[in-house]
Structure 1
Amino acid sequence: MALHLPQAASLPFGSLTKMLPLNKTSSSVSAISKSFNATTSLKIQCKAPSVIVSDQSQQVSRRSGDFKPDVWHYDYIKSLDNNYKEHAYEEESRMLRAEVRVFLSDTVNPLQQLELIDTLQRLGLAYHFKSEINKMLENIYSVDKFKNKQNLHATALEFRLSRQHGYDIPTDVFDSFINDEGDFQTSLSQDIKGMLSLYEASFLLMEDETILEKATDFTSKSLRDFMSRNPGHELTSQVKHAMEVPLHWRLPRWEARWFISEYERMPNMNSNLLQLAKLDYNMLQAMYQEEVKSNIRWWERTGLEEKINFYRCRVVDNYLWGLGMKEEPHVEKLRRVIGNLCAIITLTDDMYDVHGTLDELELFTEAILSGKISVRHLGLRPDGTMVEKRQA
């Protein structure tokens, strides 16, 4: 199954529906989930008129946002039945995690430790190994292995990972790579791996860190030159990926999908780590699908889709806001709450920006401020969780 990483601003239909193929030798995996092409025969769920319309009952002319129909077919999503919820996969995951922990404990070289931490993060597995990662970083940070060393890749990687995990690491770790004019040494442009690491590290800059601003400019030019001269190099795909959007700006789950395919082609790939990454990706997909189903059911229970037609129906898109913020299993409630609240915010935004008249919006605002209208009217508690309707 071909895998493609979407841009963060353009999330494809398959991002929440497709699974990764596991190795055929996997003991507990008997089949690969079928990939559906749900972009055909889509049911139009919402549509805003493209011209100003007249409300015949009140003789009010209303604007139109000309919103496009939702690309997500809700009936299709609700019909998804994902086998990766089964306990057999959890047992396989537990066994693979144990093997990866042995691999982590056997890795003692500081640079290899940093590269392994980076790999775990990009594969979407770091949440399983938080204590091991913290221990490695604490040891590397306290000993300061790479300061004043001529290894740009190691120094930049340590800098980026340390800052990501909250360590106070200054930019003077790059002093040994600066010339007398205060710029990066031009000879560094030949070290493509180092350039790529420095490029990614430069996006964790803080205010007034001009050396990292220079690093972004210097590495961007060097990496673009490298791509034009070496279209078939083993690092070209990683460089191209980084130049599209830096790692620090990417959504972790979409990065994991892309990097799993990239890691599979690497010569030093660890098979247990790869298998765990694929299995964990599929198990999380199953969890996300159940969460978004719940949000869709809540939206349909509100009845708003049948009552009004001026808003953007974007239930799945709104759920993805929460997924982009936190992807770990233990924050399921947060993702669902953010998705539901974003749906309400989108509706309210369209009401103010497109549909309502000034008089109507003043009354609506007063009703909200006085408590006559609240999220409870849409089936939400004050904390954003859903209120289940009682059975008659």
Structure 2
Amino acid sequence: MEELKEEAAALLSINKKDIGTTLSLIDEIQRLGLEYHFKEEINESLRHVLAEVEEIDDTHSVALSFRLLRQQGYYVSSNVFKKLKDKGGKFKEELSRDAKGLLFLYEASWLGTREDEILDEAMDFAKVHMERLLVHDKDGVLAAQIERALEMPYHRCMRRLEARHYFTMHKDEKERRHVFFELAKLDFNLLQSMHQTEIKAISTWWRELGLIKKLSFARDRVVECYFWILGVHFEPQFSEGRILLTKIIALTSVMDDIFDAYGTLEELHQFNDAIQRWDVQDVSKMPEYMIIYLHSFMSLIREIEEELCRKGMLHHKYYLAESIKALVGAYFKEAKWANKGYMPTLEEYLNISVMSSGYPMLICVALIVMEQEVTAAVLDLVLSVPKAVEASALISRLRDDLVSTKMEQERKHVASSVQCYMNDHGVTEQVARLKLSTMVANAWKDLNQGCLQYSCPSQRNLNMLALNFVRMAEVIYKHEDGYTNPSGEMKQNIGLLLLHSVHG
């Protein structure tokens, strides 16, 4: 494997002066899931590209350089796409017949902010012409890539899952760069073996905890929780953090069910009060199911604190507690609304649901258990819910609402964003859904903007966590609530990553 890595790194170095080839190599490395092996080489190559970006004029390289640079956190003006327009201000006619150029343009357009109006034009232009081209030619790898991009652009995809699909899509192409594919297949299967070991350990912990048998109302989704966290960081150096974060999300899921589906308001008041005081010593007046849950939850908190102590980071336990308090406070607020039958305004709802999405807490905990060099300043920033975290949480909540509203309203549940919008504006459900979908699109633009704002590596890592968490929301809530109902596409995706190795 080391020989293959050296050979791959040499290819990047040899082609450094050829920007088109460099961009193509970086794109392929990332799509194959190999980026973590070549971070320094990729950063060095992209800094060279950034210095030359104004001189790039061919369609493919303009679009690809823009996407790769913005992905990496470098600001590049969207004005570079003016090179692809004619004197009348429209995208050049010849581009409408360039399938690969259209694909590159379309993929780049998804990294826009609210200021990048030209990227909205680019997206519409590319989509129309790609769909037209597919009518006449649905065969071949390029057509398959276009179909997949139209289904979900690469920027919004779970990276590990996309690597798996990339192998399948290109398995019959004899001209692919042999060294990268051989390395990627070996790397994928080695990591899959590590991931299988992790999920076995987590499943054993979950079974021995016995929580689902004792709390039969709760969803049993520990494998789905692991899949969720695998999309945040799949790399080998995050193994310990991945296990702890999966445990957190699994127990948080049970907590969500306690608040949403089981606890009385008085019981939930006691629960919230105990968490806000961060003191669960006196739980004698709580119902048995809640005592059982809190015992398991605080046992996990002690496990995380012991790990922090071992790493000399025990001072970060404050942020662990504060992020959980904020989540539970939001759960309790929603429970009070549901109990009273109160219909919040959309603004009220979103102010609370950004926290109750769980993402601000999970991002904070992920930084604590996965990032060795995270600073107190960055953790303070997370607790303040900066733009990237807020956008990530908002997208997750709206995506969930758009696929699960009808199911959740069949039981006593706080009104969703769909009902809130309908009530605020007196419109039909169809109109509300269209408006909320527009809010998702704008929140993605805010997230893209947030990912360009960072002053240190820890803040850059924070932005990437926000991005990877929301990518998982896009995958899980794509057509349905794949977490609550995991028998369809969710089950297939889990199989691709945890059961089926790469061959050929």
Contact 2:280–2:294 (CA under 8 A) maintained in structure 1: no
In the alignment, structure 1 residue 246 sits paired with structure 2 residue 167: no
2:35 pairs with 126, 138, 143, which one? 126
Contact 1:113–1:136 (CA under 8 A) maintained in structure 2: yes
Aligned twin of 1:138: 47
Structure 1: runs of 5 or more not aligned? 1-92, 388-392
In the alignment, structure 1 residue 282 sits paired with structure 2 residue 201: no
In structure 2, distance between residues paired with 1:377 and 1:300? 12
More moved, 269-278 vs 112-121: 269-278
Distance 1:381 1:360, change over 3 A: closer
What SS is found at the alignment partner of 1:166? coil
Amino acid at match of 1:134: N
Structure 2: runs of 5 or more not aligned? 282-292, 308-504
Distance 1:173 1:266, change over 3 A: farther
Aligned twin of 1:104: 12
- Give per-residue Cα distances to partners, 1:161-196, cap 9 Å, x unaligned: 010111111011111112345432333111111100
Deviation at residue 234 of structure 1 after TM alignment:
4.2
What SS is found at the alignment partner of 2:301? coil
In structure 1, distance between residues paired with 2:251 and 2:141? 46
Structure number with the bigger relative contact order (C-alpha 8 A, sep ≥ 6) is 1
Distance 1:219 1:314, change over 3 A: same
In the alignment, structure 1 residue 354 sits paired with structure 2 residue 261: yes
Kindly report which structure 2 residues correspond to 1:158-197, keeping only aligned pairs within 5 A, or say none: 158-197=65-104
In structure 1, distance between residues paired with 2:170 and 2:222? 33
TM-score, scaled to structure 1: 0.70
Paired residues, number: 293
Amino acid at match of 1:281: F
Distance 1:189 1:363, change over 3 A: same
In structure 2, distance between residues paired with 1:132 and 1:163? 17
Amino acid at match of 1:352: F
In structure 1, distance between residues paired with 2:181 and 2:144? 19
Aligned twin of 2:25: 116
Specify which structure has the higher proportion of helix: 2
In structure 1, distance between residues paired with 2:153 and 2:59? 18
In structure 2, distance between residues paired with 1:386 and 1:239? 48
In the alignment, structure 1 residue 317 sits paired with structure 2 residue 224: yes
- The sequence identity of aligned pairs, in percent, is 35
Amino acid at match of 1:285: Q
In structure 2, distance between residues paired with 1:363 and 1:256? 46
Distance 1:299 1:386, change over 3 A: farther
In structure 1, distance between residues paired with 2:202 and 2:306? 9
Give me the CA root mean square deviation.
2.0
Contact 1:337–1:385 (CA under 8 A) maintained in structure 2: no
Largest Rg, 1 or 2 = 1
Aligned twin of 1:38: none
1:329 pairs with 225, 228, 236, which one? 236
In structure 2, distance between residues paired with 1:376 and 1:384? 14
More moved, 117-126 vs 363-372: 363-372
Deviation at residue 153 of structure 1 after TM alignment:
1.0
In structure 1, distance between residues paired with 2:244 and 2:193? 18
TM-score, scaled to structure 2: 0.55
Distance 1:107 1:311, change over 3 A: same
In structure 2, distance between residues paired with 1:156 and 1:266? 24
In structure 1, distance between residues paired with 2:294 and 2:37? 35
Distance 1:129 1:384, change over 3 A: same
